[in-house]
């Protein structure tokens, strides 16, 4: 579980004064097999991580044990992988 992870958390500032953040991440062309849930958890944050921080999930292939299961938890809401895909496509 969690073979690809980007952790969004308050981490303070780099020595140059720049805020540590989860920006400019490109998860691209991976093959991901999951027999249990994918932990995408965003409580305390909004969709900015997808909509304005230049983070992308593209051209990945997912093999899920139960494609209609609630694999994702985003903004404290359990959702199917398909529903999470809708969140990504809105970015």
- Provide the residue-wise pLDDT of the chain in tens; the chain has 91 residues: 556 777 777 889 999 998 888 888 888 999 888 777 655 555 566 778 777 888 887 888 888 888 788 777 666 677 787 887 776 665 4
Q: Which residues contact 64 (CB under 8 A, 6 or more apart)?
A: 33, 34, 71, 81
Residue pair 57/89 in contact (Cβ under 8 Å)? The answer is: no
Q: What is the model's pLDDT at position 16? A: 95
Residue 17 has phi, psi (to 5 degrees) of 90, -5
Task: For 73-91, write each residue's pLDDT tens digit.
Answer: 666 677 787 887 776 665 4
- What pTM value is reported for the model? 0.65
Domain ranges of the chain: 36-52+68-91
Residue pair 73/39 in contact (Cβ under 8 Å)? The answer is: yes
């Amino acid at each position: 579980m969690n073979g690809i992870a980007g952790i969004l958390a308050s981490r303070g500032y780099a020595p140059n004064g720049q805020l540590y953040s989860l920006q400019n991440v490109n998860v691209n062309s991976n093959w991901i097999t999951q027999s249990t849930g994918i932990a995408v958890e965003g409580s305390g944050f909004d969709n900015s991580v997808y909509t304005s921080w230049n983070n992308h999930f593209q051209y990945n292939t997912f093999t899920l044990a139960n494609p209609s299961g609630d694999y994702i938890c985003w903004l404290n809401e359990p959702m199917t992988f398909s529903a999470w895909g809708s969140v990504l496509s809105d970015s």
